[in-house]
Structure 1
Amino acid sequence: MKTIKTFVLSVALVAASSSLFAEDKSAWPESFTVGTGSQGGAYFGYGTAWANIVSEQTGVTGGAEVTGGPMQNMALVHTGDNHFGMTTMGPARESLEGNNAIAPGIQLDNACAMFPMYQTPFSITALTSSGITSISDIPDGAVIGFGPAGSTSDTYFPRMLAALGLKFERRNGGWSDLGGQLQDGLLDVVAFAAGVPVPAVSQLEVQTDINIIEFTEEEQAKIIDALPVSDYEIPASVYKSLETPARSVAMWNFAIANCDLPESFVYEAVKAVMGDNERMVQAHKGARTTLAKHWDKNTFLPWHPGAARWFNENGGSISPNLIHN
């Protein structure tokens, strides 16, 4: 009798557990969207990769959407127009402070940190035929493509180049479009801020000869003093145009989630991405640094409770003060 009662109790507990899980899952969205960036940029490829993984692992239909990049993603996730998105930490801070150009004066504080992605290097590409091999070679009044309006590149690269004393004309557009304009001679250089390899740069290498312009040590130091970036080297292995690593600067990227999403859903989404890094790397090379140990690269953006729970269960130590609500 004791054995039978124990068995019945175990079955009841399993049934209750399943019932609770089903009730919790009933609050999940029927589908989800991930705000990325322009086609041809690293955000779109990376976002498509993890959207597919989350969809497969959670059973919730989802996919990537083309957007204007980090600034717009902060706004779209804040409002809930996109469930998830991706941003660099500079635009994230400006958005929290009410300095997002897309929603000026509004503190976009309903977009929560989800997981660390990778560092975004800032790099400049020119046609070899232009003769531009260094920052000092870029002529006054040069026409420079800075990516989509409001993107990380468009927000920070002009400030960097101004800090180095350059005078230029700004152009905006998707990375693929700007790459085409560079090839057609409509731009002098393109200033990319995207995870490497940038698809548009890789495509240019196939079609023509290009120079990837690195910063000098002095230029790098000036930029680091002026803006929230750190030193970085673009590995020579990512582009055939590089024989040695290229000195650069970079800014960390984080995935973000609407803070109102169910804790259990975000927990499972983070688990799907962070729990199998090898699979993420196979989907996108930029995911090599999508590792749990980089949770500490976020020092100000409130974490979604579901994300915080996963990281704290897997070696993290996220302060309760940095968890939303």
Structure 2
Amino acid sequence: MGKKSLFGLALATTAVVLSACGNEDNHYYSIATASTGGTYYPIGVGMGNLWTEELIDQGIRATGQSSAGSVENIDLLRKEEAQFGILQGLIADQAYRGTGIYEGSAYEDLRTVTMLWSNVEHFVLMNNKIESGTISDVEGTSFSIGPQASGTEQSTRALINGIGLSVEDVSPDYLGYDDTISSMRDGRLDGGSLPAGVPVTAITDMYASGVRATVLDVTDEQLDSINELYPVFFRYEIDAGTYPRQEEPIYTIAQSNVLGVDKQQDADQIYLLTKILFENLETMYEVHNSAREMTLETALVGVSVPLHLGAYRYFVEQGIDIPNELIPPEAEEDEQE
């Protein structure tokens, strides 16, 4: 059974359970995440558990569901098969604006709730292929750009294009993280892209097992060039010692993983869910280390898609300065009522 079928089966099962309760005031929210082995899934499940535990007396239940990741999550939101989706910032931006893989099919009803955690870019390359120590060194190498149709593939293409190269300038492979490091260890691959929350298990394994490879830096000039095309990236420093035998900081970049939602979702409900989330961050921190990046101060970092009206109301209430581009178009109508 495919991942979409499993997602649909999970939703159908939950719908049956809720209908059996016989309460028309029940609200069920599915949170589309990614595969069970990544970070999206445990954080989505933890968020669903939090909302359910805090709001079950109000008829609210939420569940994290596995999926194929950001690209499928956009599709699930469009089809109303999921009410929330954890999204790579780049994918959310492209979907909303109708660029990249969404050219001609913009999802203008997409809104965001908050930044969740940083998706940190890790371009790794065998040491014998390194010249400048920056991501431009991937030119002419055999390089995994991530599984086909994945968020990793899209972000890798964005970074390569952003520095004036194209995938044709490398010999691309389409591997997952563990397979990338394994192929490098066996001498079948020069490098690969492994964006994720720090630390990345596969890269810890790379350093610990003696693979003679390094995570490449991204210069300020490269960051500016990338953001001219894809304005969702920001500076991120990986501290020395984060990985075994990593003696120097790594000056890379990151994009935000964001919580996406359709604008049609009820504003009062989204306000309540946003409020509960931020009033119980300590619970989320216990779910996964990456969740510790979630704070009111960082809620809008790397977010480029307008906020949902409910989340917007909450952040205004908390005194957060909302950039004009993140104010939902619905806010003006809301203020006139």
Coarse TM-score class (shorter-chain normalised)? 0.7 to 0.9
Query: Could you tell me how far apart the structure 2 residues matched to 1:180 and 1:261 are?
Result: 44
Question: Does the 8 A contact of 2:89 with 2:303 survive in 1?
Answer: no
Shift of 1:189: 1.0
Alignment of 1:3-42 (within 5 A): 26=25, 28-29=27-28, 32-42=29-39
Who is 1:312 aligned against? 316
**3-state SS in 2 of match to 1:240:** coil
Who is 1:160 aligned against? 159
Letter in 2 for 1:80: E
Who is 2:66 aligned against? 65
**3-state SS in 2 of match to 1:294:** coil
Q: Give unpaired runs (5+ residues) of structure 1.
A: 1-23
Question: Does the 8 A contact of 1:41 with 1:200 survive in 2?
Answer: no
Question: Does the 8 A contact of 2:274 with 2:314 survive in 1?
Answer: yes
Letter in 2 for 1:322: P
Question: Does the 8 A contact of 1:78 with 1:109 survive in 2?
Answer: no
Query: Could you tell me how far apart the structure 2 residues matched to 1:153 and 1:185 are?
Result: 22
Shift of 1:152: 4.0
Alignment of 1:151-190 (within 5 A): 151-162=150-161, 163=163, 165=165, 167-190=169-192
265-274 vs 137-146, greater mean Cα deviation: 137-146
**3-state SS in 2 of match to 1:292:** coil
Query: Could you tell me how far apart the structure 2 residues matched to 1:222 and 1:95 are?
Result: 21
Letter in 2 for 1:147: G
From 269, 273, 279, the equivalent of 2:283 is 279
Cα offsets for 1:170-204 (capped at 9, x unmatched) = 22344344344444444321212222222332344
From 214, 217, 235, the equivalent of 1:214 is 217
Identity %: 21
Query: Could you tell me how far apart the structure 1 residues matched to 2:52 and 2:186 are?
Result: 40
Shift of 1:146: 2.0
**3-state SS in 2 of match to 1:303:** coil
Question: Does the 8 A contact of 1:78 with 1:108 survive in 2?
Answer: yes
From 255, 265, 283, the equivalent of 2:259 is 255
Query: Could you tell me how far apart the structure 1 residues matched to 2:220 and 2:99 are?
Result: 31
Letter in 1 for 2:141: A
Cα offsets for 1:243-263 (capped at 9, x unmatched) = 222011222231112333333
Query: Could you tell me how far apart the structure 2 residues matched to 1:57 and 1:199 are?
Result: 32
Question: Does the 8 A contact of 2:114 with 2:300 survive in 1?
Answer: no
From 235, 242, 247, the equivalent of 1:243 is 247
Query: Could you tell me how far apart the structure 2 residues matched to 1:57 and 1:112 are?
Result: 24
Question: Does the 8 A contact of 1:121 with 1:250 survive in 2?
Answer: yes
From 288, 291, 296, the equivalent of 2:295 is 291
Cα offsets for 1:148-187 (capped at 9, x unmatched) = 3344432232343352557212223443443444444443
| Rg larger in structure | 1
Query: Could you tell me how far apart the structure 2 residues matched to 1:173 and 1:80 are?
Result: 30
Question: Does the 8 A contact of 1:111 with 1:258 survive in 2?
Answer: yes
Who is 1:196 aligned against? 198
Question: Does the 8 A contact of 1:117 with 1:287 survive in 2?
Answer: yes
Letter in 2 for 1:192: L
Report the CA distance shift for 1:87/1:136 in structure 2 as closer, same or farther (over 3 A): closer
Who is 1:20 aligned against? none
Question: Does the 8 A contact of 2:74 with 2:95 survive in 1?
Answer: yes
Shift of 1:135: 4.1
Shift of 1:316: 2.6
Query: Could you tell me how far apart the structure 2 residues matched to 1:25 and 1:303 are?
Result: 28
Report the CA distance shift for 1:315/1:42 in structure 2 as closer, same or farther (over 3 A): same
210-219 vs 254-263, greater mean Cα deviation: 210-219
Shift of 1:73: 2.2
Q: Give unpaired runs (5+ residues) of structure 2.
A: 1-22, 332-337
Question: Does the 8 A contact of 1:88 with 1:253 survive in 2?
Answer: yes
Letter in 1 for 2:63: G
Report the CA distance shift for 1:316/1:78 in structure 2 as closer, same or farther (over 3 A): farther
Report the CA distance shift for 1:216/1:313 in structure 2 as closer, same or farther (over 3 A): closer
Q: Tell whether 2:58 aligns with 1:56.
A: no
Shift of 1:124: 1.4
Who is 1:105 aligned against? 104
Cα offsets for 1:268-295 (capped at 9, x unmatched) = 3323322222332232222232111234
Query: Could you tell me how far apart the structure 1 residues matched to 2:110 and 2:25 are?
Result: 22
**3-state SS in 2 of match to 1:63:** strand
Query: Could you tell me how far apart the structure 1 residues matched to 2:98 and 2:136 are?
Result: 37
Query: Could you tell me how far apart the structure 1 residues matched to 2:138 and 2:103 are?
Result: 33
**3-state SS in 1 of match to 2:27:** coil
Cα offsets for 1:62-120 (capped at 9, x unmatched) = 123132x333322322222222112233322221122352x552221233211121232
Who is 1:302 aligned against? 306
Query: Could you tell me how far apart the structure 1 residues matched to 2:113 and 2:136 are?
Result: 41
Shift of 1:240: 2.3
Q: Tell whether 2:128 aligns with 1:125.
A: no
**3-state SS in 1 of match to 2:189:** coil
